Amino acid sequence: MFKDLDPILHSQLRLAVMSLLISVKEAEFTFIREKTNSTAGNLSVQIQKLKDAGYIDVTKQFKDNYPQTICKITREGVAAFENYVISLQSYLKKD
Amino acid sequence: MRDEQLSPEQSLQLIQSMINKTRQDMSDDAIYFLVWGWITFIGCTGQFILKNLVHVEQHYLVWWLVPVGIVFTIWQGRKERKNQKVSTYVGESMKHLWIGMGISFFVLSMILTKLGWGSPVYPFFIMMYGLGTFISGNFLRFRPLVIGGVLAWALAIGSVFVPYDYQILFAAAAILISYIIPAYLLRQRNKSVHS
């Protein structure tokens, strides 16, 4: 079932993260956590998977002495997201 | 949110809802339009009254409101940057557009200082107000700003046909139509989106 759909993106939380990042320039980890209503632990794991796949860039820095993690979609990530949406549309047409 | 497998329909719904969430989080640009709208509107009408009705020689001193606006903009910008958790392309584009517009207004003022302020300056200022609001309206997908920009361009042309002292009233009208009224409508839209 859904064998053509990119397995990295075809998961609820990872898809939510990518959908957020596709429409912004960059976003803080805390922003993504609030919007996806996820736990920090689970979100960290899924962000790492997206990073390993080359779909997002993760930058860790300090802002006013507080650690800050910033996520940004990569060109490969945009392409993968577009392909995923095209595959979804073709599935929906089949139905 | 848990990590679950989705049907294609659920995937599309999820994508749509997440994109909507980022749209709701766009920063409140209305405050800048309001502050600068009122500063320039008071500047234009104040200068007209001081020059033509009260006959004050140093009528241009009313423009000392501009540095107040600059200080407020820097302070507000810093405050927003401190709390900013997300950076959008629209936000970045708006920032660069209005920094560019501000520099252009400054350059135009410098040119006119050399040429003499008696030259017909206001049509150029009004034209630039139109340009800024027209582009901003399209960035924000907010029609009142786009319409305001078009009307400002019409006022820029119209102002050429009136005496110099009255051109400033055309500038005030352009600011009211292209900045102040759209800014209140934008604020209303932002409030309804957030609620």
Please state the rounded mean pLDDT for residues B171-175.
Answer: 95
What does the pLDDT look like over B65-75, one tens digit per residue? 999 999 999 99
Please tell me which residue, B118 or B3, carries the higher pLDDT value.
B118
B83 touches chain A (CB under 8 A): no
Residue B131, in any domain of the structure: yes
Rounded mean pLDDT, A71-87: 94
**Contact status of B58 with chain A (Cβ, < 8 Å):** no
Beta-ladder partners of A69 = A60
Residue at B33 is within a domain: yes
* pLDDT tier at B172, thresholds 50, 70, 90: very high
Query: Residue B73: which domain range?
Result: 28-194
Mean pLDDT of B23-38: 77
Chain B residues in contact with A68 (beta carbon < 8 A): none
Cβ proximity of A21 and A77 under 8 Å: yes
Q: Would you say residue A74 lies in a domain?
A: yes
The predicted structure's pLDDT at residue B19? 83
Of A19, A30, A42, the CB nearest to B14: A19
Q: Which chain B residues contact residue A13 at CB under 8 A?
A: 1-3
> Is 70 exceeded by the pLDDT of residue B112?
yes
Two tokens, residue A91: 């599935």
Whether residues A25 and B11 touch (CB distance < 8 A) is answered with no
Q: Does B10 reside within a domain?
A: no
CATH number at residue A71: 1.10.10.10
Counting Cα atoms < 13 Å in the Cβ hemisphere of B35 gives 18
* Pairing of the two strands A26-28 and B86-87: antiparallel
DSSP symbol at A8: T
CA A79 to chain centre: 13
Give domain status of residue B189, yes or no: yes
In a domain, B16, yes or no: no
SS3 content of chain A, % helix, strand, coil (to 5): 55, 20, 25
- What pairing do the DSSP bridges indicate for beta strands A56-63 and B86-87? unpaired
d(CA B176, CA B57): 26
What pLDDT does residue B193 have?
66
pLDDT at A8 over 80: yes
Contacts of B15 in chain A (CB under 8 A): 15, 19, 85
Q: Assess if residue B36 is contained within a domain.
A: yes
Domain coverage including residue A46: 12-94
% pLDDT > 70, chain B:
91
In a domain, B18, yes or no: no
Integer Cα distance of A45 and B32 in angstroms: 40
Specify the pLDDT at position B137. Answer: 92
Count of structural domains, chain B = 1
Number of compact structural domains in chain A: 1
Q: What is the pLDDT of residues A10-62, one digit of tens each?
A: 889 999 999 999 989 999 999 999 999 999 999 999 999 999 999 999 999 88
B contacts of A31 (beta carbons < 8 Å): 25, 85-86
Residues of A with CB under 8 A from a CB of B: 2, 5, 10-16, 19-20, 22-28, 30-31, 35-38, 42, 46, 64, 84-85, 88, 91-92, 95
| pLDDT value for B192 | 74
B118-161 pLDDT per residue, tens: 677 889 999 999 999 999 999 888 899 999 999 999 999 999 99
Query: Measured between alpha carbons, how far is B186 from B178 in angstroms, rounded to an integer?
Result: 12
Q: What percent of chain B has pLDDT over 90?
A: 48
Predicted local confidence at residue B194, as pLDDT: 62
Q: Tell me: the pLDDT tens digits for B94-111?
A: 889 999 999 998 898 888
Determine the pLDDT at residue A57. 96
Query: Domain for residue A1, yes or no?
Result: no
